[in-house]
């Protein structure tokens, strides 16, 4: 009998056998490359879930010509050591543990003809190279610095003014409560002052600004790295990391002019702080390799890896820091997205995250010859910015911080610095449309010299819509090049990008902006991490333009009481044609078994008509709720229609088809979910009577132009929608036809 079962298992199809890499942990590292993927980087980044704290791994790669090669992995990831030519590859992972050895199912990927090489260097060779390079290792050469200064006269002028003020200021005592919201002893402010002095030294007048840089560096180097400013203290890791960066940069840039006593003082403090970072994210077995979607630890991996190259040869432990952190940082460059450049944690955190990374990308290129701009995600991130944070946009998207005003300055600063570092035709156009950055900040002023100036043309042939499969985001614009555009955004994110961290429980949600105004909005305010408003409103489905049921019940999210699971969606289709664009999302899984069907299809007809078709079902009768949010009170124009107005822009919403509905709205927050700050917003809801299944068909009309819209459903279940001269058919099986 036992032999029969073994034979049966051996003969079973691969899809029917359990693969030990398919784990239930929603935070685990993703399997990369995904099975069947066509990759844009060669070699691609390999990773998989870390299934044991004691397992050692090896990866076997089968080449298109049939030969195979096996390499040992440092943990649950590997940077393959050769550029792979175009073709189809198969790979398996072997895990060795005390109980034996097991091999994963084989997965395939294709290296496309246009894939670009990115080869992680051998770390021992890199260490030898950086150690042989004298300090300063990370400072651009004189000609490059002069070119940068010439291109950025406003930044130089602003920096001079800031330095005049700070040079007259007394030094601040070591903070005992370093909060980013505090001036005075706050580490982030002191980091900025140090960077100001260093940039003044490098770009304006070395003799004038060296004393200012030196006094501030000596001052912070006297702070106890084990005390209140320690990276190890709860809630302090971000400012502590930033301050350490400023010290490392000062140590490297000023090294030729520092006496031995000051070098020793700085290096001792730096070593202690970098050791804390290494213990946190690498240690004996890296927690960030195991759980890469850690919005603080992911950044620390890159920061530690790059900073360690600047002190290699001086700090004895730097070799271990480089070999432990840098290969990992290069492998997980951006765990919040795939090669297509998306960022699942929302556009606000996309800007903050890359803003923190950019300085280290610049230094890695100069000091170590590592060019992050050649990584697939970094190359494609410019598309994400242009389509999901376009010029003139009134708000961010799909995550915490979508409503904040700080991006009027931060967006142009980070976008221009990024585009200088990783230029593209679309990126040059995008950056040239933005203004208002703090020109003296490091991310902008110290970015590589720009290869463009003045207004840049919109690249000919650029589509006005973009679908990013890895994160399940879609942007559809009337005209991307026009700041008065109509913009329709939609998301339905697949694993591993569910409702976790700064992402919300908003699968199958949409947002509509027009003419620089918010119309169908994401509601709520980011008033702090895990505040009552954050957990009881902002994270929840009822805060989005999405489907809830039975009084606001919605999708699950990881931080929800009693849950450690995420609500996922998936895009099942995306069509872009001259007549229309359409996207269908399946959010059924996000409702964690409460619903048996939650499908939403958007059909966008430029410039301002959008059909939203929902197909909903449950084993239990539900009161289905179609949510819509706005900044201002909505006008009820009929029992099935409303109008939203904001700053002269209008959006008419009409329920064209489906069961009877009742509309209600409120400008109040639930008592348990009131925000700490923020003006009132309006929350509307079209609700049905209890039904096991329902189809809802809505027309959203920017400008309120469709006076004679109508819809009818035939015996076969297909909808025919008449919009003036246009006729749209929505049939079973996702049939869409526009004529």
Query: pLDDT, tens digit, for every residue of 524-560?
Result: 999 998 999 999 999 999 999 999 999 999 999 999 8
Tell me the C-alpha distance between 87 and 395, whole Å: 42
What order of strands is seen across the sheet that includes strand 486-491? 465-468, 473-477, 486-491, 509-514, 517-520
pLDDT in tens, 695-720: 999 999 999 998 889 999 998 889 99
Share the mean pLDDT of the chain.
93
Residue 732 has pLDDT above 80, yes or no: no
d(CA 336, CA 347): 11
Distance CA 209, CA 216 (A): 11
The answer to whether 5 and 12 have CB atoms below 8 angstroms apart is no
Residue 668 in contact with residue 679, Cβ under 8 Å? Answer: no
Domain spanning 121-332: which CATH class is it, in words? mainly alpha
What tokens were used for 660?
Answer: 């009877």
Burial of 17 (0-12, 13-18, 19+ CB in 10 A): exposed
The rounded distance, in Å, linking the Cα atoms of 546 and 561 is: 22
Name the burial class of residue 586, with classes exposed (0-12), middle (13-18) and buried (19+) by CB atoms within 10 angstroms of its CB. Answer: buried
pLDDT at 179: 60
Q: Cα separation of 644 and 663, whole Å?
A: 14
Q: Are 357 and 515 in contact (CB under 8 A)?
A: no
Give the tens place of pLDDT for each residue, 47-74.
999 998 899 999 999 999 999 999 999 9
Dump pLDDT digits (tens) for 423-433. Answer: 999 999 999 99
Q: Across-strand partners of 586?
A: 599
Q: Which residues of 484-522 are buried (b: 16+ CB within 10 A; e: fewer)?
A: ebbbbbbbbbbebbbbbbbbbbbbbbbbbbbbbbbbbbb
**pLDDT tops 80 at residue 452:** yes
11 pLDDT exceeds 60? no
Alpha-carbon distance of 572 to 490, in angstroms, equals 13
The string of pLDDT tens digits covering residues 640-671 is: 999 999 999 999 999 999 999 999 999 999 99
Q: What is residue 739's predicted lDDT score, i.e. its pLDDT?
A: 84
pLDDT tens, 402-427?
A: 998 888 999 999 999 999 999 999 99
* Helix, strand, coil distribution of the chain in percent, nearest 5: 35, 25, 40
Angle of helix 260-281 relative to helix 297-311, nearest 10 degrees, comes to 150
* Distance between CA atoms of residues 333 and 241, nearest Å: 18
CATH number of 466-738: 2.70.98.70
How far apart are alpha carbons 246 and 249 in whole angstroms?
A: 5
Is the pLDDT at 728 greater than 70? The verdict is yes
Q: Which sequence spans correspond to the domains of the chain?
A: 2-117, 121-332, 344-462, 466-738
- Per-residue CA distances from 655 to 456, 637, 658, 728 (Å): 42, 12, 8, 15
Give the CATH fold of the 2-117 domain.
Immunoglobulin-like (2.60.40)
Q: In the predicted model, what is the mean pLDDT of residues 474-497?
A: 97
CA nearest to 641, candidates 609, 598, 684: 684
Whole-angstrom distance, CA of residue 541 vs CA of residue 522: 10
Cross-strand partners of 713: 719
Burial of 216 (0-12, 13-18, 19+ CB in 10 A): buried
> Are 517 and 394 a contacting pair, CB within 8 Å?
yes
For residue 233, give the DSSP letter.
Answer: S
pLDDT, residue 182, reads: 46
pLDDT given for residue 178 in this prediction: 62
Contact (Cβ atoms closer than 8 angstroms) between residue 338 and residue 471: yes
Give the pair of three-digit tokens for residue 733. Answer: 């099986």
Q: Are 495 and 568 in contact (CB under 8 A)?
A: yes
CA 614/CA 633 separation, integer angstroms: 25
176 burial class (0-12, 13-18, 19+ CB within 10 angstroms)? Answer: exposed
d(CA 40, CA 177): 45
Structure tokens at 549: 């049921």
Rounded CA separation 596/613 (Å): 17
By three-state DSSP, how is residue 444 classified?
helix
Give the position of tokens 């526009």. 738
- Whether 12 has a pLDDT exceeding 60, the answer reads no
At residue 555, the pLDDT reads: 97
> In the Cβ-directed half-sphere of 453, how many Cα atoms lie within 13 Å?
6
In tens, the pLDDT along 254-306 reads 999 999 999 999 999 999 999 999 999 999 999 999 999 998 899 999 999 99
Stretch 131-154: mean pLDDT:
97
Give the start-end residues of each E strand in 505-658.
Answer: 509-514, 517-520, 547-549, 571-576, 581-586, 597-605, 609-630, 635-638, 641-646, 649-657
547/391 Cα distance (integer angstroms): 30
Task: Report which DSSP code applies to 179.
Answer: -
In the DSSP assignment, the letter for residue 311 is H
Give strand pairing partners of 473: 468, 491
3-class secondary-structure state, position 617 = strand
Bridge-based pairing of strands 710-713 and 662-666 is: unpaired
Residue located via tokens 């840039």 = 253
Question: Contact 248/307 with Cβ under 8 angstroms?
Answer: yes
Query: Per-residue pLDDT tens for 331-359?
Result: 999 999 999 999 999 999 999 999 999 99
């Amino acid at each position: 009998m036992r032999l029969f079962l073994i034979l049966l298992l051996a003969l079973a199809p691969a899809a029917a056998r359990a693969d030990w890499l398919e784990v239930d942990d929603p935070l685990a590292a993703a399997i990369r490359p995904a099975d069947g993927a066509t990759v844009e980087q060669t070699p691609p980044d390999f990773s998989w879930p870390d299934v044991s704290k004691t397992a050692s791994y090896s990866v076997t790669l089968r080449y298109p010509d049939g030969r195979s090669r096996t390499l040992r992995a440092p943990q649950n990831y590997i940077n393959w050591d050769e550029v792979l030519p175009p073709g189809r590859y198969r790979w398996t992972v072997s895990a060795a543990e005390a109980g034996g050895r097991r091999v994963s199912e084989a997965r395939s990927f294709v290296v496309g003809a246009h894939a670009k090489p990115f080869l992680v260097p051998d770390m021992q060779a890199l260490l030898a190279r950086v150690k042989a390079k004298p300090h300063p290792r990370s400072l651009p050469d004189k000609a490059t610095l002069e070119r940068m200064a010439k291109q950025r006269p406003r930044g130089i002028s602003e920096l001079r003014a800031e330095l005049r003020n700070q040079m007259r200021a007394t030094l601040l005592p070591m903070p005992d409560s370093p909060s980013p919201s505090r001036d005075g002893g706050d580490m982030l402010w002191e980091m900025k002052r140090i960077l100001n002095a260093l940039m003044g030294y490098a770009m304006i007048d070395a003799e004038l600004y060296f004393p200012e840089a030196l006094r501030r560096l000596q001052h912070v180097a006297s702070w106890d790295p084990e005390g209140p400013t320690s990276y190890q203290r709860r809630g302090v890791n971000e400012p502590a990391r930033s301050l350490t960066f400023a010290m490392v940069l000062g140590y490297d840039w000023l090294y030729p002019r520092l006496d031995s006593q000051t070098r020793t003082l700085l290096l001792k403090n730096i070593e202690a702080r970098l050791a804390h970072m290494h213990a946190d994210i690498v240690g004996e077995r890296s927690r960030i390799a195991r759980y890469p979607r850690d919005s603080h630890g992911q950044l620390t991996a890159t920061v530690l890896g790059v900073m360690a190259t600047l002190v290699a040869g001086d700090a004895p432990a730097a070799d271990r820091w480089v070999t432990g952190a840098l290969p990992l940082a290069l492998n997980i460059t951006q765990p919040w997205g795939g090669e297509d450049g998306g960022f699942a944690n929302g556009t606000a955190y996309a800007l903050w995250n890359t803003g923190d990374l950019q300085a280290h990308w610049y230094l890695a290129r100069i000091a170590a010859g590592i060019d992050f701009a050649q990584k697939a995600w970094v190359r494609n991130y410019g598309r994400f910015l242009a389509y999901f944070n376009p010029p003139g946009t009134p708000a961010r998207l799909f995550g915490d911080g979508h409503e904040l005003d700080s991006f009027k300055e931060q967006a142009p600063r980070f976008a221009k610095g990024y585009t200088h570092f990783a230029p593209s035709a679309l990126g040059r156009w995008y950056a040239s449309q933005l203004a208002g950055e703090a020109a003296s900040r490091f991310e902008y002023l110290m970015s590589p010299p720009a290869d463009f100036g003045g207004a840049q043309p919109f690249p000919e042939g650029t589509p006005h819509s973009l679908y990013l499969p890895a994160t399940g985001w879609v942007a559809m614009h009337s005209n991307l090049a026009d700041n008065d555009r109509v913009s329709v955004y939609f998301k339905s994110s697949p694993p591993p990008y569910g409702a976790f961290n700064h992402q919300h429980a908003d699968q199958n949600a949409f947002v509509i902006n027009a003419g620089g105004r918010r119309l169908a909005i994401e509601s709520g305010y980011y008033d702090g991490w895990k505040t009552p408003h954050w957990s009881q409103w902002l994270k929840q489905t009822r805060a989005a333009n999405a489907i809830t049921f039975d009084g606001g019940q919605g999708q699950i999210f990881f931080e929800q009481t009693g849950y450690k699971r995420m609500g996922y969606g998936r895009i099942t289709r995306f069509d872009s044609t001259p007549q229309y664009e359409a996207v269908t999302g399946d959010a059924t899984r996000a409702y964690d078994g409460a619903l048996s069907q939650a499908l939403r299809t958007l059909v966008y007809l430029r410039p301002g008509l959008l059909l939203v078709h929902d197909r909903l079902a449950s084993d239990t009768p539900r009161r289905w709720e179609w949510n819509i949010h706005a900044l201002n009170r909505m006008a009820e124009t009929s029992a099935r229609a409303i109008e939203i107005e904001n700053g002269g822009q209008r959006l008419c919403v009409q329920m064209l088809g489906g069961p009877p509905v009742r509309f209600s709205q409120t400008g109040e927050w639930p008592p348990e979910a009131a925000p700490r700050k923020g003006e009132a917003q309006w929350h509307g809801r079209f609700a049905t009577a209890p039904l096991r299944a329902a189809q809802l068909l809505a027309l959203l009309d920017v400008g309120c132009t469709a006076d004679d819209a109508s819809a009818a459903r035939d015996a076969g279940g297909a909808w025919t929608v008449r919009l003036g001269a246009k006729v749209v058919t929505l049939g079973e099986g996702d049939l869409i036809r526009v004529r």
